[in-house]
Chain A
C-alpha cells in the first residue's frame, strides 16, 4: 500500500465515523460536548500509555472511552448542582481534564511516546510508517487497523440502534414512554463518540476532530430533512473534505489535518450560501420576494383605505408635494422604493393614476387585494 493511499484510507475512515456520530451531536445540540470529549480523552490516553507501557490500541480505547464517560458525567454533575449553566460546566471541565493530560505527558515524557503538538493537530502523514505487528509480521499501518475497526463499530452502532437513536434524538420524552431508555442511548452514544475521538486523535488531533464531527453533519443538515439522507450526505462531505484536504495540503505543503478542516469549512460555506431551501441566497431571495409582495399589498391596502374614505392624518412637516410623497412619509419609505412598487402595480393594471396625480385602485386591483389579503393574512387562529 503506497503511503498516499494509506493516508487517504485512514483519513476516510476517520471522516466517515466522525460524520456518522456527528449527525447525532448536531441534532441533539451537543456539538460542544463533542468538543469537550475530544480534549478530555487526553488523560485517558496518557494513563493508558503509562499503565500498559505501550501503544496498545485496546487499552488506549478503554482509557479514552472511560474518560469520555467521565467527562459527560462531570459536565452533567456540574449542571445538576444548579450552580453552573451547561456552557460553563463544559468550559470548566474539559480544560481541567486536558491539563491533567498535558501534565501527565510532560511529567512522564520518557514513558509516553506522545507529541503534544500531534495531540492538537495530529500527524496523519506519519500514519503509513507506523505499522501494526502481529508477532513478527507487519500487518499494515496501525492507524488503518484502529480506525477501520472503529468505523465498523460506529457503522454497526448506528445501524443497530438507528430506531432508538432517531427516536431519542427527536423526542426523548416519547422514547422514554415507549421504553427506549434515552439515558442509556445517550451514554452509549457518548461512549461511541469517545472511541471515535480516540481513533481520530492520533491522526487528526483533538481540535480538528471537532471539525470532522461537527462540520460535515452541519453541512448535510442544511440540505435535507431526513435523517437517513443526512447521515449519507454527512459521510459524503466528510470524505470530500478528507480527499480535497489531502490535495490542498500537498499543494501548500502544510498540515494535512488542518487542510481537511479548512476544506470542510469551505464546503460548508458553499452550502451555507447556496443550499436550495436553507441556503442564504435562497432565503434572501425568498425574503425579498415576500417582502416585495408584502409591500405591494400594503400599498394596495393603503390606497383602498383612502378610497374608502379612511381619515388620513398627514404627518408633521410641510404639506407633501404629491400623493406619493404623502404615502412615502406615512410608510417611512424612501420615495424611490415606493415609486418602483407603484410602477409595478400600474403595469399590472391594479393601480392607476388619476388626473390630479392620485393613485387609485382599479377593479382588478381590488380583487387582487381581496385574494392576496386572504392568502397572506390567513387568520392565524382560524385554521
Chain B
C-alpha cells in the first residue's frame, strides 16, 4: 500500500472510532494471483453488528477477499479499512477462523493449546501464556460446548469439534469483527446449530461476523447481510433486498439452473412430495 495514504488513514489515534463508520470498508480492491485477476475492482462496505455472508461460486475469490482484508495477501490496487483505520491499527479488533483443512490436525497439541494461540497476538514477545490465559481459553472452550475436551489431542476430535476449537480460538481473541472461512463446512447438524447460536450471541453483543458461506440453502436463514461475489462484486446489502433470484443468477451464471433444480427438489421434499418421501418416515 502507498505509504502516504496509509498515514492519512491512521491520522487518528488508536482506539478512536466513529460508530457510524462501517466495520469494513473496501475500495477499488483488485487482487491477482500471478497475472490472473481473482478480485476485480471491488468496492464494498460492511455494516457493524451484523452477521454477514460472503457468497459465490467456487473460485469466485471469497477466501481471497477474506485473506486480503486480513492482510495475508497484498492487493494490486485499492485499500481496506477496518472501523475507519488501517489493518495495522486494528489488528487487535479482528479475529480469524481459517478453513479447517488449512492445518495439520495431527499436530502434537491439545484443544486448549490451540485456543490459547488466539492470545499469542496480544501476549507480546517472550511472554508465555500463564494461568489466567489458560482460564480464559477454557472459558472459550466452554462457550462452544467442549470444555471437557480441553486436554484432548486435536486429531482425536471429530470434524465438528475441530471447528469448535477454531471458533473458541477466535473467541479468545475477543474481537470486534470475526472473519470466518467456511465455518459450517463439513460439520454435523448439532455443531451447525451450536455455531449458529454462537454467531447470534456475538451479534447480540454488538460484534460483527463476516463469514464465507457455501450453502445457499441456509444463507438467508443464518445471516442478515449478504455479499454476492464472483470476481467482481455482484451485489451487497441486507439479505431480503439482495438475496434475490436475479442477483443469484448474475452471481452463479449458467450454474444456477442446476442449483435451482436442487433447491426446488429440496423444497419439494420439504413440502411433502411423495416421490422424495420413500423410507424417510415410515
Among residues of A, the one whose C-beta sits closest to the C-beta of B27 is A330
| Min CB gap B242→A, angstroms | 18
Partner of B37, one of A332, A334, A376, A382: A376
CB contacts (< 8 Å) of B41 on chain A: these are 298, 301-302
Q: At the interface with chain B, which of A69-77, A184-192, A284-292?
A: A284-292
Contact B35 A291 (CB under 8 A): yes
Is A162 engaged at the interface, CB distance under 8 Å to the other chain? no
Which residues of A366-382 have CB atoms within 8 Å of chain B's CB atoms?
Answer: 376-377, 379-382
A313 to B9, CA, bound (A): 14
Interface string of B247-264 (1 = CB under 8 A from A): 000001111000000000
Contact A332 B59 (CB under 8 A): no
Contact B230 A381 (CB under 8 A): yes
Contact A329 B30 (CB under 8 A): no
Contact B76 A329 (CB under 8 A): no
Contact B34 A287 (CB under 8 A): yes
Partner of A331, one of B6, B59, B78: B78
CB contacts (< 8 Å) of A294 on chain B: these are 30, 32, 35, 37, 76
CB contacts (< 8 Å) of A286 on chain B: these are 35
Q: How large is the interface on B (under 10, 10 to 19, 20 to 34, 35 or more residues)?
A: 20 to 34
Contact A377 B77 (CB under 8 A): no
| Min CB gap B60→A, angstroms | 8
A9 to B28, CA, bound (A): 62
CB contacts (< 8 Å) of B2 on chain A: these are 328-329, 332-334
A255 to B6, CA, bound (A): 56
Contact B27 A313 (CB under 8 A): yes
A381 to B255, CA, bound (A): 8
The verdict on A315 contacting B254 (CB below 8 Å), with A287-B34, A294-B37 known, is no
| Min CB gap A379→B, angstroms | 6
Which residues of A298-332 have CB atoms within 8 Å of chain B's CB atoms?
Answer: 298, 301-302, 313, 315-318, 328-332
17 contacts between A and B (CB under 8 A): A286-B35, A287-B35, A290-B35, A294-B30, A294-B32, A313-B27, A316-B8, A316-B12, A316-B84, A317-B11, A318-B8, A329-B5, A330-B27, A332-B2, A332-B77, A381-B230, A381-B255
Interface residues of A (CB under 8 A from B): 286-287, 290-291, 294-295, 298, 301-302, 313, 315-318, 328-334, 376-377, 379-382
The 5 closest A-B pairs by CB, nearest first: A317-B8, A290-B35, A331-B77, A381-B253, A332-B79
